[in-house]
């Protein structure tokens, strides 16, 4: 047995109505696809239907280009929007960092180990600190320093770098700058941040200090899409660790680093496997 | 918005082949069903396909009886076996207990709170201890004492009680007797046990003593279907709790009771919502 | 082997300085105590020392009354405050409830099973709903209805009830009323509440609705001491459960009830075993 | 405020009797020590007393050498054995690996980040694969290939390497060879292994395959001291991750790598902070 080599993922959504599953599955079957995974969700309150289908391309009677084309009228007819991703297309990822190394190294290692589909195409930073790590993994490193005065200019350059590298996904791996709407709007629901607090608690700066101050018994980390409102975007994944009165701030940071790594890596993996759909301010995660 | 009142669940399985999803969904759609939930799984190694579909009956052009009838040739054609459950049919549950009360009370409370679909139709015990709890919840209590000499006779009576109450599911809620193959075979994959160890560790008697002896740092509980081999049936759900050198045997038992309650209740709920498929010695749990 | 029958717990705190452990342990030893458990904590930032010592009374050359007396000058000399609890003294607990049953029943069952030291001396409610449960466990039930107009009068009666029953600890087991400062001040750091959100997130009303709205991936419950600021008192214990897009509000409530039970029971147990010290707005929990 | 610069840890054990805490604390106090952390445990069944005390050396009237000397008669008098560790002494660690990189890199990163007290003094492997990682972190790498025929010779060389580097702790970071009693006896309770199963389940080879086969719903990892019986040594730390029917063997391995990293790192940190005492086949972990 071996996994089929060429597959595609269809993400689709629209108002719920009868026959969506039958019509979509019927279409794929009629063209020779074999459905490997199919997940669906109906939000009863919103009356919305969401679907992820992963299927083989090998025996289809349509080349991927025509598949896309023929899905358009079907989906229009069903009142749905969709994206189609061939798993041959390797998504390109930019990782933005400042000085903290743990999330970047973790992503580089997981990428090399094949845990994360997609290619880390560039590392961008407002500091030179982590250049050696990018170079060790033979990933281009772009240094874009920033001051309050140069922010607009720096973000213009950042957008150029992202465009040059044909980036699909931007990952903020403890990047200590707040992106302006200009960048956020250029990559809508395509920027993932790791926040080192259990959102919506401890928004903003220094969440471990806030957690210490409040005396919580669990700390957490949250990966979410970046929107124009700080720390308010759709949540993808969260995890916690137990703390006690014995834990100092540095213990919280140590435990937190482990959470951040895990929670960010899970979000990136889920995104690149096309398992996330957003609606309203929430995510549907087909894991 | 209100949840549709009449729905059905279809559980199906068979060798994987193209078009299963399309054919089944197409059939349901052609008869007016609206699919509310659909989950599928392909075991690539075994080449097996599993599906759970929950759909509305309200607008169907077939009464449930005829639906069952018409599914037979379709499924035969697809090489699949299936079960169809109307959610109007309330499954009947027997709970077998000895002297420990926590799992029984938990199930009775959850049942009354509507957490568990199905009706606890009878409580059977080899001791009188828990009769008051059954009576408090107005559930018939049957006392069936047993000794090594009377086991065969007791089990014969047990089977009579189960038959009289038209039992679908037997729950061993810390029932301190090992059922013989005669009972197990009468309810294949329809008897759920809670084992107070993290199987396959600590099989058999006194798992907390074994855990204490071995010095583990996590204890667990396991709910599983009962098969003829003790503690070897398909696992449905497991959960753990952290322990340390400070925990005495009675601490382990206290923490364990919480695990047992949770893990047994989850298994019963999953079963009664028809979310579990077994194959080989494993479960597919569509939760 | 058997656990010593008569023990005492000393909780002490004061500015950190050399010799605290030696002086206190030396005093106890010189009077014949055997120290069973000793836990200490130094908050380096605050310069504060906290200690819990559990020791046998059986061979001491002082009766408990005189022990208390002789500790006074020692502790004064060390600049510390302390409480001494004989484990023979059974603390008396009042449980305040409204209509939700799960936390009350859980406490009653655990108390009867011996999991919780102390005696549930009275159940007070602003509804009659849960009277049968109190009566089932032979605990006095006091019905104190309340309206905005009668709040002051109702709280006066409540304080009378608590005084009449010589209550040490007040437990708000999903009591749907906010206590005024008058009651809070009468039982400082002796009122424990269960909040069905992971504080400081989702303060105030309807935390599961808030969690649903925000699209979090973990829900939680928090037990804390009640202070005059709503949901801002020192946190004792927290726990989480994983949720997904599939979970409806009623699923969140179901999972939440399990969390609430566990987290409240742990807090009550820890308090009654005299394992909690408060300072600032935090707890030191010697578990 | 700053943490005291020079501290020491005393680990002591012996049959439980009155006055142990008072005598030891009194001795330290009389020589000017300030106790920062003190933890104790009594195993009631075994009648054994265990203690860990961390105290400042700065104001003591004894140099560390004499402290050790003077503790000898005190401890003999109390019937106890002890170890004294100055936190100035940096323990030296050898990491043994084969081809899997994740645990080694994790330890190297944590060591560099200061999470782990102690110095990784040498990496030893039966393969050349991971040499670049050792060199990247400027740690000597020793290649010691082994075949069934050369095992005795290879272990002789291994012992030489360990001796040359004055190793305190040997860490098996997915080292795919079973050490013979000769090595185990040379480092009693000073060799830590990471097993990728939740011991005592899934001992021996290929635990993820075993877990897959058995259909468990939780997988785990276990760090433990190596003794002459394979996978039977005292357990230090364990952690689990949830799996489902959807997880393939490679998913189990992916989730497992995260567990292995965490659980091994915790054990190494606990050991190097002198927080672990062994007795019988168990550990007391003062965390």
The DSSP symbol for D174 reads: S
Residue B226 and residue B153 share a domain:
yes
Q: Which residues contact B274 (CB under 8 A, 6 or more apart)?
A: B9, B11, B52, B83, B85
By CB atoms closer than 10 A (0-12, 13-18, 19+), residue B61 is exposed
The chain C residue lying nearest A210, using CA atoms, is: C200
Nearest CA of chain A to the CA of C189: how many Å? Answer: 15
Q: E strands within chain A?
A: 7-15, 35-43, 48-56, 81-86, 92-97, 119-125, 141-143, 169-172, 191-195, 218-225, 235-242, 276-279, 282-285
For residue C283, being part of any structural domain is answered with yes
- 3-state SS class at B76: helix
Q: Which residue of C has its CA nearest to B265?
A: C258
Domain of D25 in residue numbering reads as 7-86
Overall number of domains in chain C:
3
Evaluate whether residue C30 is within a structural domain.
yes
Q: Along chain A (287 residues), what's the average pLDDT of each consecutive run of 10 residues?
A: 73 94 93 92 93 93 88 96 92 98 97 94 98 97 96 97 98 96 97 95 90 95 95 96 96 97 98 96 95
Chain B: nearest CA to A127, how far in angstroms?
A: 41
pLDDT of D64: 75
Ranges in chain B, pLDDT < 50: 1, 4
Mark yes or no for CB contact B115/C254 under 8 Å: yes
Domain contains D2: no
Residue D239 structure tokens? 């952690």
For residue D215, give the DSSP letter: T
Chain C CB within 8 Å of residue A276 CB: no
User: Most C CBs within 10 Å: which of D22, D24, D40, D43, as the mutation test of the C interface?
Assistant: D22
C217 vs A201, A238, A281: nearest CB: A238
Pairing of β A169-172 and β A141-143 = unpaired
Q: Is-contact A104 A95, C-beta < 8 A?
A: yes
Report the pLDDT value the prediction gives residue D158, as an integer from 0 to 100: 98
Nearest-Cα residue of chain B relative to residue A286: B39
Cross-chain residue pair C102–B115, CB shorter than 8 Å: no
A106 three-state secondary structure: helix
Pick from A200, A245, A285: CB nearest C201? A200
Between CA C264 and CA A243 the distance in angstroms is: 18
Q: How far is D92 from chain B (nearest CA, A)?
A: 27
Which pLDDT tens digit goes with each residue over A131-155?
999 999 999 999 999 999 999 999 9
Residue B150: CB partners within 8 Å, gap ≥ 6? none
Contacts of A38 in chain B (CB under 8 A): 21, 38, 40
**Residues lower than pLDDT 70 in chain C:** 1-4
Contacts 24+ apart (CB under 8 A), A159-166: A159/A183, A159/A186, A161/A94, A161/A122, A161/A124, A162/A94, A162/A122, A162/A186, A162/A187, A165/A92, A165/A94, A165/A121, A165/A122, A165/A140, A166/A92, A166/A121
The verdict on a CB contact (< 8 Å) between D115 and A254 is yes
C1 domain-assigned: no
Q: Does A113 touch chain D (CB under 8 A)?
A: yes
3-state helix/strand/coil string of B231-266: CCCCEEEEEEEECCCCCCHHHHHHHHHHHHHHHHHH
B25/A25 Cβ within 8 A = yes
Task: Report chain D residues whose CB lies below 8 A from the CB of C33.
Answer: 18
d(CA C86, nearest CA chain B) in Å: 21
d(CA A26, CA C159): 69
Q: Which two tokens stand for residue D8?
A: 């020491």
Contacts of B40 (CB under 8 A, 6+ apart): A35, A37, A38, B21, B49, B50, B51, B52
- Domain shared by D121 and D53, yes or no: no
CA distances to A20, A74, A234, A281, C16 from A13, in Å: 10, 13, 17, 15, 62
Q: What was the ipTM of the complex prediction?
A: 0.94
Task: Find, among B215, B233, B214, the residue nearest to B223 by Cα.
Answer: B233
Task: Check if C202 contacts A (Cβ < 8 Å).
Answer: yes
Neighbours of D279 (CB within 10 A): 16
Q: Which residues contact D116 (CB under 8 A, 6 or more apart)?
A: D107, D110, D265, D268, D269, D272
The answer to whether the CB of C255 falls within 8 A of the CB of B265 is no
In this complex, the residue of D102, D246, D262 whose CB is nearest that of residue A258 is D262
- Report how far residue C131's alpha carbon sits from residue C98's, in angstroms, rounded to the nearest whole number: 10
Residue C282 covered by a domain:
yes
- Mutation target among B217, B239, B259 for the D interface, most CBs of D within 10 A: B217
Report how far residue A281's alpha carbon sits from residue D214's, in angstroms, rounded to the nearest whole number. 40
Burial class for B2, CB neighbours closer than 10 Å (0-12, 13-18, 19+): exposed
Catalytic residue among D106, D168, D231, D247: D231
Contact B287, B56 (CB under 8 A): no
CB–CB of C102 and B113 under 8 A?
yes
- Rounded Cα distance, A282 and A271, in Å: 14
Q: Are residues C106 and C180 in the same domain?
A: yes
Q: Which of B20, B29, B59, B218 to mutate to test the interface with A (most CBs of A within 10 A)?
A: B29
Q: Which ranges constitute the DSSP H helices of B189-231?
A: 207-214
Nearest-by-Cβ selection for B262 from C136, C246, C258: C258
Distance CA C256, CA C254 (A): 5
Nearest CA in chain C to B115: C254
* H/E stretch holding D262: helix D249-272
Q: CATH number of the domain at D268, please.
A: 3.40.50.170
Alpha-carbon distance of D173 to D105, in angstroms, equals 10
| For testing contact with chain B, the best of C1, C37, C104, C106 (most B CBs within 10 A) | C106
Of D218, D248, D285, the CB nearest to B240: D218
Which is it for strands C7-15 and C81-86: parallel, antiparallel or unpaired?
antiparallel
Nearest-angstrom CA–CA distance, B229 and B204 = 11
> At C64, which CATH number?
3.30.70.260
Spatial distance between the Cα atoms of A275 and D210, rounded to a whole number of angstroms: 29
Question: Does the CA dihedral D199-D202-D203-D209 come out positive or negative?
Answer: negative
D244 touches chain B (CB under 8 A): yes
CB pairs under 8 A between A and C: 77
Q: One of B16, B59, B88, B231 is an active-site residue; which one?
A: B231
Mean pLDDT of D67-88: 94
Residues 28-67, chain D: which have Cβ within 8 Å of C? 28-30, 32-40, 42, 44-45, 47, 59
Within 8 A of C287 by CB-CB distance, chain B residues are: 246
The 10 Å Cβ neighbour count of residue B45 is 10
Do residue D100 and residue D183 come from a single domain? yes
Do C215 and C123 sit in the same domain of this protein? no
Residues of D in contact with C35 (CB under 8 A): 20-22, 40
Write down which residue in A64, A86, A108 finishes a domain: A86
Rounded Cα gap, residues A259 and A222, in angstroms: 9
Q: Do D282 and B199 touch (CB under 8 A)?
A: no
Contact (CB<8Å) B220/D217: no
Residue C154 lies in a domain: yes
**B127 and B36 fall within a common domain:** no
Domain annotation covers residue D1: no
Residues 6+ apart with CB under 8 A from C207: C195, C196, C197, C201
Name the helix (H) or strand (E) containing C25.
Answer: helix C20-30
Give CA D163 to chain center in angstroms: 18
Same domain membership, residue C282 and residue C200:
yes
CB D237 within 8 A of CB D276: no
* CB burial of residue A226 (10 Å; 0-12, 13-18, 19+): buried
Same domain, B179 and B56: no
Residues A179 and A95 in one domain: yes
**A229 and A213 both lie in a single domain:** yes
Spatial CA neighbour of B244 closest among D190, C39, C219: C39
For residue A127, what are the contacts with CB-CB under 8 A and spacing of at least 6?
Answer: A97, A98, A99, A143, A145
Both A155 and A212 in one domain: the answer is: no
Strand order, beta sheet including A81-86: A81-86, A7-15, A48-56, A35-43, B35-43, B48-56, B7-15, B81-86
Verify that A182 and A208 share a domain, yes or no.
Answer: no
Q: Check CB contact under 8 Å for B281 and D217.
A: no
Please check whether residue A52 lies inside any domain of the structure: yes
* Residue in chain C lying closest to B262 (CA): C258
Q: Under DSSP, is residue C219 helix (H, G, I), strand (E, B) or coil? A: strand
Using CB atoms, which residue from A21, A29, A33 is nearest to B35? A21
With CB atoms and an 8 Å threshold, state whether D245 touches B43. Answer: yes
Chain C's closest residue to B132, CA to CA, is C136
Q: Which H or E run includes D124?
A: strand D119-125
Nearest CA in chain C to B254: C115
Q: Provide, as residue numbers in chain A, all residues whose Cβ is less than 8 Å from the Cβ of B3.
A: 44
Name every chain A residue with its beta carbon within 8 A of the beta carbon of B45.
Answer: 1
Whether the bond into B200 is cis, omega within 30 of 0: yes
Domain ends where: C86, C113, C145?
C86
Q: Is B231 a catalytic residue?
A: yes
Give me the residue label for tokens 């297309």: A89
Domain boundary among the residues A132, A154, A187 is at A187
Give me the catalytic one of C231, C251, C258, C287. C231
Angstrom distance (rounded) from CA A190 to CA A192: 6
* Dihedral angle over CA of A183, A189, A190, A191, nearest 10: 60
Percent of residues, chain A, with pLDDT higher than 90? 89
Q: Which residues pair with C41 in a beta bridge?
A: C50
């Amino acid at each position: 047995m071996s996994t089929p080599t060429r597959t595609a993922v269809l993400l689709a959504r629209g108002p719920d109505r009868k026959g969506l599953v039958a019509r979509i599955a019927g279409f794929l079957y009629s063209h020779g696809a074999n459905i490997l995974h199919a997940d669906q969700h109906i939000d009863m309150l919103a009356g919305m239907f969401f679907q992820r289908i992963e299927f083989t391309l090998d025996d289809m009677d349509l080349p991927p280009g025509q598949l896309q084309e023929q899905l358009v009228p079907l989906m229009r007819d069903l009142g749905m929007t969709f994206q189609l991703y061939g798993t041959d297309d390797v998504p390109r990822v930019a990782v933005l960092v400042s000085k903290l190394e743990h999330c970047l190294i973790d992503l580089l290692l997981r990428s090399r180990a094949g845990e994360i589909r997609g290619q880390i195409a560039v590392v961008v930073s407002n500091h030179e600190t982590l250049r050696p790590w990018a170079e060790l993994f033979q990933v281009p490193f772009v240094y874009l320093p920033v001051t309050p005065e140069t922010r607009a200019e720096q973000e213009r350059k950042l957008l150029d770098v992202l465009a040059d590298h044909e980036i699909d996904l931007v990952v903020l791996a403890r990047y200590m700058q707040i992106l302006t709407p200009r960048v956020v709007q250029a990559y809508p629901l395509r920027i993932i941040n790791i926040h080192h607090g259990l959102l919506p608690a401890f928004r903003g700066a220094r969440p471990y200090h806030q957690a210490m101050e409040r005396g919580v018994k669990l700390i957490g980390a949250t990966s979410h899409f970046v929107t124009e409102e700080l720390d308010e975007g759709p949540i993808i994944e969260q995890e916690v660790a137990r703390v006690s009165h014995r834990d100092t701030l540095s213990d919280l940071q140590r435990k937190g680093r482990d959470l951040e790594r895990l929670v960010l890596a899970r979000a990136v993996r889920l995104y690149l496997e096309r398992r996330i759909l957003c609606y309203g301010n929430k995510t549907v995660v087909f894991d």
